Amino acid sequence: MTEDDLRAAAAAGIITEAQAARLTHLAHERAGRVARALPDDEPFELFRGFAEIFVSLGLILLLSGAMALVVVVGSALVIAVVFGGLCWLFSLYFTKKRRMALPSIVLTIGYACAAGTVLGWLLDKTGILSGDTSVVVIFGLLGIAAMALHYRVFKVPFSMFIAGLFGLMVVFGTTGVLADIDQPFKDWNNLFDLRRGGGLAIGTLIFGLLSLAVGLWFDMRDPHRIGRMARSAFWLHLLAAPALVNTVALTAYNTGGTQGMVLTLIALVLITMLALIIDRRSFLTAGLGYLAFVVAWAMQLGEAELSWPLLLLVLGVIVTTLGTFWTQLRVVLMQALPNFPGKHRLPPYAIDE
């Protein structure tokens, strides 16, 4: 049996995800799989075929038509409740029974929108809504609870992405980012600069660290990445990467001059090592813009006609090399690093024969 067979068996409920992980580990040990033969893909699935796209389009049309009818006779609360109820009802079939990926994402988004509307209505009616940013924290916490309930029932990995967005509201409300939201942004380059002590920079850093921590918690429960835990972690890392990389790299870059470029390069090297250790490429993708600045500085590119083509060529070589030899680079790094807490629970990087 292949790993795809085990994933299908776990998805169908024939075996548990823990059993599938143990079977995969046993197969790796028996085969004596070496590092160069380890799988190097990250679980990520939007749809499994055109049938899911077709069903998703049908669901969007169906839900839109149902809402158009409700709008005629109902209030905002009624619309949200009916819309959320329909999304929940359809999820019982398309998610729990049919296990369709894209329709599940569509229905999860619909449920989140409905839940947000209901929560906003309740906060308004209870008099909690005010100019105080604490309402954002309350709204975010309730939103996280709503998505946690959805995840517990339907186990859709994408639910973690939306829960993370609600978590972003909590962090921003706690750090006071929204207190000065009415003030014009004079310099976008300073918004994420930690040296300025701005709430937005501190908020995004905290949010990135929290998202990374929760993503690693999911990852370590599914090191072979055959189940929903790893897929849930993918969406959390997708949120953590731009928050962390943008804050750290931009702070280093804004130092200016040669020192700023060197600090940016050091930050990118550390980010690359983190991406290799946890085996998540989203962190490198988030840092491509800063990599371009460093490469342009190192090559002293000016306004010549070949500047942009040469820059793109060098960036292409770097990214392609990292993508091609990702597994080998990760093996070298992981074997060079001493043992640290949780190292054995990360995705395997070598199997002894």
Q: Does 130 have pLDDT greater than 70?
A: no
Asked if residue 192 lies in contact with residue 251, where contact means CB atoms within 8 angstroms, the answer is: yes
Tokens 């999860």 belong to residue? 108
Question: Dihedrals φ, ψ of 25, to 5°?
Answer: -60, -40
> Is the model more confident about 305 or about 333?
333
The model's pTM is 0.82
Q: How many residues does the chain have?
A: 353
pLDDT of residue 115: 95
> Is the model more confident about 136 or about 163?
163
Region 94-103 average pLDDT: 90
3-class DSSP assignment, residue 155: coil
pLDDT of residue 186: 52
Q: E-strand spans in 209-265?
A: none
Give the list of residues 6+ apart from residue 263 with CB closer than 8 angstroms, or none. Answer: 252, 253, 255
Region 13-32 average pLDDT: 74
3-class DSSP assignment, residue 132: coil
Query: CA Rg, the chain, in Å?
Result: 23
Domain boundaries, the chain: 50-183
The angle, 0 to 180 degrees and rounded to 10, between the axes of the packed helices 228-253 and 158-175 is 40
**Degrees to nearest 5, angle at CA 270 with 294 and 319:** 55
